[in-house]
Amino acid sequence: MSSIELLTNKEYKYGFVTDIESDMIPRGLSEDTIRLISAKKNEPEFMLEFRLKAYRNWLKMEEPQHWPNITYPKVDYQDIIYYSAPKQKATKASMDEVDPELIKTFEKLGIPLTEQKMLAGVAVDAVFDSVSVATTYKAKLKQHGVIFCSFSEAVLEYPELIKKYLGTVVPTNDNYFAALNSAVFTDGSFVFIPKGVHCPMELSTYFRINNSESGQFERTLIIAEEGAHVSYLEGCTAPKFDKNQLHAAVVELVALDDAEIKYSTVQNWYAGDEEGKGGIYNFVTKRGACRGRNSKISWTQVETGSAITWKYPSCILQGDNSIGEFYSVALTNHAQQADTGTKMIHIGKNTRSNIVSKGISAGKSNNSYRGLVKVLAGAEGARNYTQCDSLLIGDKCGANTFPYIEVSNNTAKVEHEATTSRISEEQLFYLRQRGISQEDAVSLIINGFCKDVFRELPMEFAVEAQRLLGMKLEGSVG
């Protein structure tokens, strides 16, 4: 007698296309494509080698279509344009030289880039299709020794840092999509926080896919030296196209002794229509290495968009006493599919990890949590706590939990708790009896369900995340 039915998504308000001339390379992927991308970016030789090595690995690898709980038609990798950049001057002395169309696009997305309007306290790197088009507060950050710039710029300006860290957390042969990314990535963000510095503002990257044929392959590398602290946010949207676009990103984080990196994502890629037509394939590899003693890496993600989400932000807890955290809300509606979770690899002594996963499924969507907790023999006193909750709305959706636990040290303590619940008619009636509308009631219950994750988000992001969930799940009594 479930009378909870969902109305359609409220119109996806980021679905517009920017009309801008682009510099594109021909469709398809080969060693020549990679040489072309590398040449376009004037990259040093070591980068080209890195890419070619990855490409050769990729050719030998198999697309992971079997083990994740997702289904999709085979992607034709020769039918993708691997480089598409808005035409504009390569180097921009100031924001005034950024194409006004791009400034307008980002403004429409709520990301003002001009000096007068920039968000206070948040520095933004804006990535449009294959390239970074602007980075705010760069100079101000530099005064503190913080490097925040596009990945392309970092390759040219700080090749030693790139050489030292790139591919050390996610090797080029790590998995199919990471190998592909390593071969063809075009831009992304680079962050370096030197020893002892607490980054004076939030850093963020906003990813925008605009070209229906190009997909996005970006690379993010964040390094926090001894005692450094940084909080980094990422957001993303894409126009509504009937065709699927591939987004295969790699994010690598490195935390040295006593360093802390907090990485938050609000993912709102276009999800496709109700029948599952169109939308982004979000196949992403995110991993952080807690290399130093007492270091800490914390992932918070709110995944609301994409036709398919396949990602497992992970922590390698190498340093003694290091801490890994994963807080996730994954919402699927209509025909969306998500297979997401985390991996916590305990190597050092007294390492700790905490996992909180909240899955919300509606429509005929499918939502799986997949998590690995691995404790190696040397990880004396390691501890993990996992809480995995699923909330179902309606009776055509699915939720699954796949926890993998491998413990090789008997002093380790690993706890896993899982629950599945539904929004009940009685809860809705109770709230409505107090004058709260059906939509607000659903949204209140969902936000309550996600509270443990939302409170990990920076304030503005938490508000945005709550609004997004409410918008995605317009409920109605049928």
Least gap, CB of 393 to other proteins (angstroms): 15
Least gap, CB of 57 to other proteins (angstroms): 44
CB atoms within 10 A of CB 244: 22
Least gap, CB of 391 to other proteins (angstroms): 10
Compare residues 156 and 431 and give the one whose CB is closer to other proteins: 431
Cα–Cα dist 433/182, whole Å: 55
Least gap, CB of 427 to other proteins (angstroms): 5
Compare residues 60 and 434 and give the one whose CB is closer to other proteins: 434
Compare residues 95 and 436 and give the one whose CB is closer to other proteins: 436
Compare residues 330 and 345 and give the one whose CB is closer to other proteins: 330
Cα–Cα dist 111/141, whole Å: 19
Which residues are at the interface with other proteins (CB under 8 A)? 1, 3, 424-427, 429-438, 440-441, 444-445, 447-452, 477
Least gap, CB of 440 to other proteins (angstroms): 7
Least gap, CB of 355 to other proteins (angstroms): 18
Least gap, CB of 441 to other proteins (angstroms): 8
Compare residues 102 and 388 and give the one whose CB is closer to other proteins: 388
Compare residues 62 and 395 and give the one whose CB is closer to other proteins: 395
Compare residues 409 and 420 and give the one whose CB is closer to other proteins: 420
